[in-house]
């Protein structure tokens, strides 16, 4: 009797009756199951880096040493974590999604590397203080790109380097120069406090699921020693300047009541700390020359660079401004308010001659000049 030919697969490869076919199918099914543990929440930027070559390149560019403690933000299922643990002394992984955290724990359970992995379940942005670390590596959820960058820049002592995956346009903001479209508070802060290098471009197909945009990996190396100014003061000044980066600085300061209210509050605090007496009486008259904006004021929350101003940075400033504005006992045209206004005007028009310059055209030197002149007048931003 002639033998019946064995059926072949529709792809012309392994036959279905092949003894290895079942094992291969099971292996493929298990692999697919592993890559689809649960549905990714793209609303919070969950895109797993699936290309092992890219993952290895990121770790290599971080120049991790055997003595290093590495902070990994958003480890996901551990594709980067595995490679970091091969080089680092210890990894502190911060993960917000309990499902991801469970998979990460499962992946390293029973391995020798498990003892060197510390998993923190929580929101890295809401952590009051980050644990000590030498290097930060992150396939950054795009929604926290800005607050994470600011948090890392403000960390003291600063890490040796941070290698971070960002949405391409966001990454380009880090390098933007005065006058360029993407120039922002983020640009000034990054270039003031760190050296920023472009590492590589990463296409969307290297992720699962693919994001809507292309990505870039950048390396942020905080300056050592750090600039000898207060980060909070510096960033506080920039927040005001970039509220409306296309408006002249005179309007951004003197034409915004909430800004003036905050500066008055800070000036009162400064005087109290330095035992400087203040005359709280009503103003003798109003200098009409000080009124620079006839239209409705633009509040500090109405901003050009919204992505660069995370809530946790602006809450305190907004709280101070509203407290001053809502206080029924506050005298809007009091002598202290008038004094602060005259000081601000002097700094902008006389001391720095930057009153008519726009923030988008100011460089690092201009902002340093402003901060120094304001501080000389007892005007502070933190």
Least confident segment among 46-60, 207-221, 313-327:
313-327
The predicted-structure confidence for 299-321, as pLDDT tens digits, reads as follows 433 344 544 444 443 455 556 55
Which domains, from first to last, does the chain contain? 42-222 (3.40.50.150), 231-376 (1.10.8.480)
Residue 274 assigned to a binding site: no
3-class SS string, the chain: CCCCCCCCCCCCCCCCCCHHHHHHHHHHHHHHHHHCCCCCCHHHCCCEECCHHHHHHHHHHCCCCCCCEEEEECCCCCHHHHHHHCCCCEEEEEECCHHHHHHHHHHHCCCHHHHHEEEEECCHHHCCCCCCCCEEEEECCHHHHHHHHHHHHHCCCCCCEEEEEEEHHHHHHHHCCCCCCCCCHHHHHHHHHEEEEEEEEECHHHEECCCCCCEEEEEEEECCCCCCCCHHHHHHHHHHHCCCCCCEHHHHHHCCHHHHHHHHHHHHHHHHHCCCCCCCCECCCCCHHHCCCCCCCCCCCCCCCHHHCCHHHHHHHHHHHHHHHHCCCCCCCEHHHHHHHHHHHHHHHHHCCCCCCEHHHCCHHHHHHHHHHHHHCCCCCC
Q: Give the mean pLDDT of 362-370.
A: 98
pTM for this entry = 0.76
Q: State residue 11's pLDDT score.
A: 40
Residue 153 assigned to a binding site: no
pLDDT above 70: percentage of residues in the chain = 75
The yes-or-no verdict on residue 4 having pLDDT over 60 is no
pLDDT band at 279 (very low <50, low <70, confident <90, very high): confident
Q: State residue 58's pLDDT score.
A: 97
Residue 198 assigned to a binding site: no
Residue 380 assigned to a binding site: no
Least confident segment among 30-39, 216-225, 275-284, 333-342:
30-39
């Amino acid at each position: 009797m002639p033998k019946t030919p064995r059926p072949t697969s529709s792809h012309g490869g392994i036959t279905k009756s092949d003894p290895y076919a079942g094992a291969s199918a099971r292996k493929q099914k298990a692999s697919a199951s592993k890559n689809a543990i649960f549905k990714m929440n793209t609303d919070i930027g969950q895109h797993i880096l699936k290309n092992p070559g890219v993952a290895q390149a990121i770790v290599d560019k971080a120049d991790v040493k055997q003595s290093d403690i590495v902070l990994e933000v958003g480890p996901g299922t551990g594709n980067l974590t595995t490679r970091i643990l091969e080089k680092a002394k210890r990894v502190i992984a911060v993960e917000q999604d309990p499902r991801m955290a469970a998979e990460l724990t499962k992946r390293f359970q029973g391995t020798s590397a498990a003892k060197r992995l510390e998993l923190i379940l929580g929101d890295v942005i809401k952590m009051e203080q980050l644990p000590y670390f030498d290097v930060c590596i992150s396939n950054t959820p795009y929604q926290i790109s800005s607050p994470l960058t600011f948090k890392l820049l403000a960390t003291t002592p600063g890490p040796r380097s941070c290698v971070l995956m960002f949405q391409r346009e966001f990454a380009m903001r880090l390098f933007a120069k005065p006058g360029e479209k993407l120039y922002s508070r983020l640009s000034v802060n990054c270039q003031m406090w760190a050296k920023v290098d472009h590492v590589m471009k990463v296409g969307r197909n290297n992720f699962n699921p693919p994001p809507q945009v292309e990505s870039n990996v950048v390396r942020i190396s905080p300056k050592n020693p750090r600039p000898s100014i207060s980060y909070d003061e510096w960033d506080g000044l920039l927040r005001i300047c970039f509220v409306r980066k296309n408006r002249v600085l005179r309007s951004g300061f003197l034409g915004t009541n909430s800004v003036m209210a905050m500066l008055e509050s800070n000036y009162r605090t400064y005087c109290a700390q330095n035992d400087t007496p203040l005359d709280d009486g009503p103003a003798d008259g109003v200098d009409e020359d000080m009124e620079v904006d006839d239209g409705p004021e633009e509040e500090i929350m109405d901003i050009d660079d919204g992505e660069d101003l995370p809530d946790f940075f602006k809450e305190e400033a907004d709280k101070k401004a509203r407290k001053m504005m809502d206080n029924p006992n506050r005298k809007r045209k009091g002598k202290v308010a008038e004094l602060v206004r005259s000081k601000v005007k002097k700094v902008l028009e006389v001391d720095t001659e930057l009153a008519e310059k726009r923030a988008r055209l100011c460089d690092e030197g201009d902002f340093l000049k402003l901060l120094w002149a304001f501080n000389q007048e007892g005007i502070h931003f933190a």
